[in-house]
Amino acid sequence: MMTQAGSAPIAPRRIVIDTDPGQDDAVAILLALASPELKVEAITTVAGNVPVALTTKNACALLELAGRTDIPVFAGAARPLHRAPISAEHVHGETGMAGADLPEPTLRPQAIDAATWLVDLLRREPEGAITLVCLGPMTNLALALTHAPDIASRIAGVVAMGGAQREGGNITPTAEFNFFVDPHAARIVMHSGIPITLLPLDVTHRAIATPARLAPIAAVGTSVTDMVVRMLGAEDRFEKLKYGWEGGALHDPLTIGWLLRPELFSGRDCNVEIEVDAPLCMGQSIVDLWNVTDRVPNALWINDVDSDAFYSLLTERLALLD
């Protein structure tokens, strides 16, 4: 429990992290585990950056590294709803965790699949008790919503890394990777009525892992921070080559940053639609940023962040893990 001066204890926000680790997913998970403001109820995995068997293995290995084997892992969807699987080994390496060098985990996922478990959890917990943090394709949540539409009103909110507008796409000219992998799932979630916060490429491309920002993390010198620096270095090589930046963008951890310090971010409520029909624009997020249509806002679209303050927060929290 947290406390504020002169006030009663504040219960941590209860979250489920739905993820496809991925180096930046790994950093997001570690940041959440290091933050007393959050209580990670479980990790659910999905195919995305690499196949689901590897994303599940990576999630288990990360929990063992952090000493949190009390947190259950539930393996989820092995493929998108209506498309062939798409992965990103060219960015994240064959295991999805290039640079991590983690040992084979002994922790194993639970027997129940992620979507079924999500439905059970949300139906038994009080309405508004659980926030979902989506770091990969939204297939698991879309499956849960399709089979149990009643859970939508029970979810406190969804905070997701996904979409792009002014930055264009990072997998096609128009689409961000998570939405491109399973656009039909993203569309179901965006139409669900759940309060949604999106952290798209528009904001993640403002949080570049430059050498100056990584140096304080490296200086901590724990096994966790050493691994984080190695992973980000392995991932950075792709984005340095592609964009000409000093380092790579730290995508997924910004979702946790927003939960911890929303005052570091800015954005606006607007309507976001996901293209599922046009081949050249598959997975594109069509963002009515200036309210030029009559479409009702369905997301808080985050488009800026105090990057230096976020990296200071990240360094502070990662130093708590060893």
The closest alpha carbon to 261, from 219, 225, 210, 302, belongs to: 302
State the SS3 of 308-320.
HHHHHHHHHHHCC
CA gap 145, 143 in Å, rounded: 5
Beta strands (DSSP E) in 95-242 are 130-134, 155-161, 196-199
Q: Which of 92, 184, 205, 251 is catalytic?
A: 251
- To the query of whether residue 251 is one of the catalytic residues in this protein, the response is yes
Query: Is the preceding omega at residue 22 within 30 degrees of 0, hence cis?
Result: yes
Residues 6+ apart with CB under 8 A from 230: 99, 100, 101
CA gap 21, 228 in Å, rounded: 13
Beta strands (DSSP E) in 24-107 are 38-45, 73-75
Residue type (1 letter), 125: E
Phi, psi for residue 279 in degrees, rounded to 5:
-55, -40
3-class SS at 97?
coil
Supply the residues annotated as catalytic: 251
